[in-house]
Amino acid sequence: MSATLILAPGRERSVMRRHPWIFAGSVDRLDGRARPGDTVLVQAASGRVLGRAAFSPASQIRARMWTFEDESIDDAFFRRTVTRAVEQRRDLPELAGEFGPRGGVRLLHGESDGLPGVIADRYADVIVLQITGAGGEKWRQAIAEALVRATGIARVYERSDSDVRALEGLEPRCGWLIGDGEPPFPVIAEPGVAGDVNIEIDVAGGHKTGFYLDQRDNRRLCGELARERRVLNCFCYTGGFSLHALAGGAASVLSIDSSGPALATARRNVGHNPQIDAARAEWLEADVFQALRTFRSEGRRFDLIVLDPPKFAPSAAHAKAAARAYKDINLLGFRLLAPGGLLMTYSCSGGVDPDFFQKIVADAAADAGVSARVLRRLSAGADHPVGLAFPEGEYLKGLLLRVG
């Protein structure tokens, strides 16, 4: 018999709207015993059954809903849910190439795919699984096996070392779940303006699961816009936007990141792309905030600037401090743009919504004394769906702007 989590009166509303998180403050009591990650039945105060959730006593998110239906949570549940997520992506023509031998695609996008705290990215012949919740922790092997069945890809590597695990009371855990040998360095083929761009991924040592697949469409757009422009790519990581800009015929591409290992991978990526002119690429290991101030004092100008900073606001509580950092970086960006220049600017902070982000960028333009217009609103690709009941899933937003 599983335990039952009973909500406080009136606190069932968000679960009834299929939001997957149950906060500690909404819980009245737990009937029975449950260990971290155990499946509990969820009931409204009235006794109405709302579904089943993974219990997480250490977290403010006390439980995460696995299902809003009357179904058991077992290996078959994970097979069904994983297969549905993979098939949904396979059905989309724009992702067809990502199921080829060197594709790169997010297969599981957590809450929005009905699997709270579970992320899976496919890089060519390896799947990388990242678990950030107590429920996924318990079912990792079932999820890994379901991924292999649904994709035919034989190897699954775990990268569960995100800081947020501490909030759930979970230790870091990395290594093979299925497969063995040295950690892999798969090379994916990312669609670009002039054919594929090859990108190597350091599965064991890279950030997150090794790469930022969410920017795939935006990197391609950067390649389309870069022709004959002087490009500045800030927070370049392993060079994704830079490689697409070079492949798109940029006059020059200056890329900045504070991570030496990321830049070492970026340099290797240049070698994986013989079609690009390496002489047009310059790589700078530096703090972007400082480097941009220096460029400003040197009077340097660029025609296309990419600003893709790390998450400044992990939650709404950090939004104010994050807003200052976003404004600062965008202000510096506007000041370095030549007349008619383009800015691709992003925020991947869950705590900053698209309207707020646009307002911050507008404030930055006003302070820089430039007129700018939005040419496009940008977001993550179709392999990062956003559950309608889970607006938090829309963490990545961007703007393509033109000044002057």
Assess 358 for contact with ligand SAH (CB under 6 A): no
Spell out, one character per residue from 174 to 213, where the chain touches ligand SAH: x when CB under 6 A holds, - when not. Answer: --------------------------------------x-
Assess 326 for contact with ligand SAH (CB under 6 A): no
Residue closer to ligand SAH, measured from CB, 51 or 240: 240
Structure-block tokens of residue 302: 């660029």
Active site residue 348: yes
Strand, helix or coil for residue 152: coil
Cα–Cα distance, 54 to 65 (Å, whole number): 6
Q: What is the dihedral sign for C-alpha 13, 14, 15, 16?
A: positive
Question: Of the candidates 257, 303, 353, 392, which one interacts with ligand SAH according to CB under 6 A?
Answer: 257
Residue closer to ligand SAH, measured from CB, 4 or 258: 258
The minimum distance between CB 346 and ligand SAH, in angstroms, equals 8
Cα–Cα distance, 197 to 244 (Å, whole number): 7
Cα–Cα distance, 355 to 206 (Å, whole number): 31
**Of residues 397, 377, 395, the one with CA closest to residue 386:** 395
Cα–Cα distance, 303 to 197 (Å, whole number): 22
Cα–Cα distance, 89 to 84 (Å, whole number): 9
Residue closer to ligand SAH, measured from CB, 73 or 188: 188
By rule CB under 6 A, what count of residues binds ligand SAH? 19
Q: Which listed range, 52-60, 79-87, 176-184, 257-265, lies at the site for ligand SAH (CB under 6 A)?
A: 257-265
Question: Of the candidates 258, 316, 318, 328, which one interacts with ligand SAH according to CB under 6 A?
Answer: 258
Question: Of the candidates 5, 288, 337, 400, which one interacts with ligand SAH according to CB under 6 A?
Answer: 288
Structure-block tokens of residue 322: 């994050």
Assess 281 for contact with ligand SAH (CB under 6 A): no
Cα–Cα distance, 322 to 309 (Å, whole number): 11
Structure-block tokens of residue 72: 């058991």
The minimum distance between CB 235 and ligand SAH, in angstroms, equals 3
Q: Between β-strands 195-200 and 104-109, what pairing exists: parallel, antiparallel or unpaired?
A: unpaired
Scanning 272-318, the segments in alpha helix (DSSP H) are 288-297
Q: Which listed range, 14-22, 84-92, 252-260, 369-377, lies at the site for ligand SAH (CB under 6 A)?
A: 252-260
CB-CB contact of 198 with 272 (8 Å): yes
Assess 262 for contact with ligand SAH (CB under 6 A): yes
The minimum distance between CB 34 and ligand SAH, in angstroms, equals 37
Residue closer to ligand SAH, measured from CB, 142 or 188: 188
Tell me which amino acid residue 230 is. Answer: R
Cα–Cα distance, 159 to 155 (Å, whole number): 13
Q: Between β-strands 195-200 and 187-192, what pairing exists: parallel, antiparallel or unpaired?
A: antiparallel
Q: Which listed range, 23-31, 108-116, 287-295, 392-400, lies at the site for ligand SAH (CB under 6 A)?
A: 287-295
**Of residues 377, 375, 368, 367, the one with CA closest to residue 347:** 377
Assess 66 for contact with ligand SAH (CB under 6 A): no
Q: Which listed range, 19-27, 33-41, 47-55, 281-289, lies at the site for ligand SAH (CB under 6 A)?
A: 281-289
For 11-115, where are the E strands, in sequence order? 21-23, 27-31, 39-43, 49-55, 61-67, 104-109
Question: Of the candidates 310, 340, 391, 404, which one interacts with ligand SAH according to CB under 6 A?
Answer: 310
Q: Which listed range, 43-51, 53-61, 254-262, 368-376, lies at the site for ligand SAH (CB under 6 A)?
A: 254-262
Assess 282 for contact with ligand SAH (CB under 6 A): no
Question: Of the candidates 55, 185, 241, 395, which one interacts with ligand SAH according to CB under 6 A?
Answer: 241
Active site amino acids = 348
Query: Which positions touch ligand SAH (CB under 6 A)?
Result: 212, 215, 219, 235-238, 240-241, 256-259, 262, 287-289, 308, 310
